[in-house]
């Protein structure tokens, strides 16, 4: 499988800054995450598009993400060798971006999977590596469409929402 992985920042990629004592999106750490996974017969091309907290994302950022998805081969009018696309995204506005992509590319050529984490990769009890692994796996099995994959579930857009009380994504 040839997968294109687009990073946009979010909690999944936040790192601890000792100088300020805060977590922030300073740069992509996806290569460190991928190094922890055993991905046999999976070739991953990485596009480090943004490094932002999703609460700071603008409509222009969502346009850039949709444009990167289109360029990576998610659109039926532009075929590349990508079999699937995974997007690392902050969970707070992941639903907005998923809906934006679906509106921009209503009939994707490949599965487009958005995932994120409720706790950063660098923290104990993080769901980051699990969600990344699940997203890559699901991207190889799902039919073309736009999905959120996290916590053992694949939910198709439209209608995916973050449930803060449950700490996961739900339909409806």
Q: DSSP string of 49-113?
A: EEEE-GGG--HHHHHHHHHHHIIIIISTTS--S-SEEEEE--SSSHHHHHHHHHHH-SS-SSEEE
Tokens representing residue 150 in the block: 């996290």
Query: Rounded CA gap, 118 and 168, in Å?
Result: 8
Tell me what pLDDT residue 26 has. Answer: 75
Q: Tell me which fold the domain 2-171 belongs to.
A: Rossmann fold (3.40.50)
pTM: 0.91
Whether 14 contacts 20, CB under 8 Å? no
Tell me what pLDDT residue 19 has. Answer: 79
Res 38 pLDDT > 80: yes
The larger pLDDT score, comparing residue 1 to residue 18, is at 1
Lowest-confidence pick of 14-23, 29-38, 48-57: 14-23
Domain borders along the chain are: 2-171
Query: Rounded CA gap, 27 and 25, in Å?
Result: 6
Tokens representing residue 2 in the block: 């040839």
pLDDT band at 43 (very low <50, low <70, confident <90, very high): very high
Sign of CA dihedral 39, 35, 136, 110: negative
pLDDT band at 79 (very low <50, low <70, confident <90, very high): low
Tell me what pLDDT residue 85 has. Answer: 97
Q: What DSSP element (H or E) covers 129?
A: helix 128-139
Nearest to 5 by CA among 117, 118, 161, 111: 111
The pLDDT tens digits for 51-65 are: 999 999 999 999 999
The pLDDT tens digits for 114-152 are: 999 998 887 888 999 999 999 999 999 999 999 999 999
Catalytic residues: 11
Lowest-confidence pick of 8-22, 43-57, 132-146, 154-168: 8-22
Q: What is the mean pLDDT of the chain?
A: 92
pLDDT band at 1 (very low <50, low <70, confident <90, very high): very high
């Amino acid at each position: 499988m040839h997968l294109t992985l687009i990073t946009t920042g979010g909690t999944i990629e936040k790192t601890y800054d000792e100088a300020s004592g805060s977590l922030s999106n300073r740069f992509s750490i996806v290569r460190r995450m991928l190094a922890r996974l055993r991905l046999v017969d999976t070739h991953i091309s990485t596009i480090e598009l943004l490094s932002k907290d999703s609460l700071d994302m603008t409509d222009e950022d969502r346009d850039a993400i949709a444009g990167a998805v289109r360029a990576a081969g998610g659109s039926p009018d532009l075929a590349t060798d990508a079999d699937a696309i995974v997007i690392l995204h902050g969970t707070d506005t992941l639903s907005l971006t998923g809906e934006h992509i679906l509106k921009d590319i209503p009939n994707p050529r490949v599965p487009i999977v958005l995932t994120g984490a409720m706790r950063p990769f660098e923290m104990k009890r993080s769901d980051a590596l699990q969600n990344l692994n699940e997203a890559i796996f699901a991207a190889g099995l799902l039919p073309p469409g736009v999905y959120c994959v996290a916590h053992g579930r694949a939910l198709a857009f439209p209608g995916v929402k973050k449930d803060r009380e449950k700490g996961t994504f739900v339909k409806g």
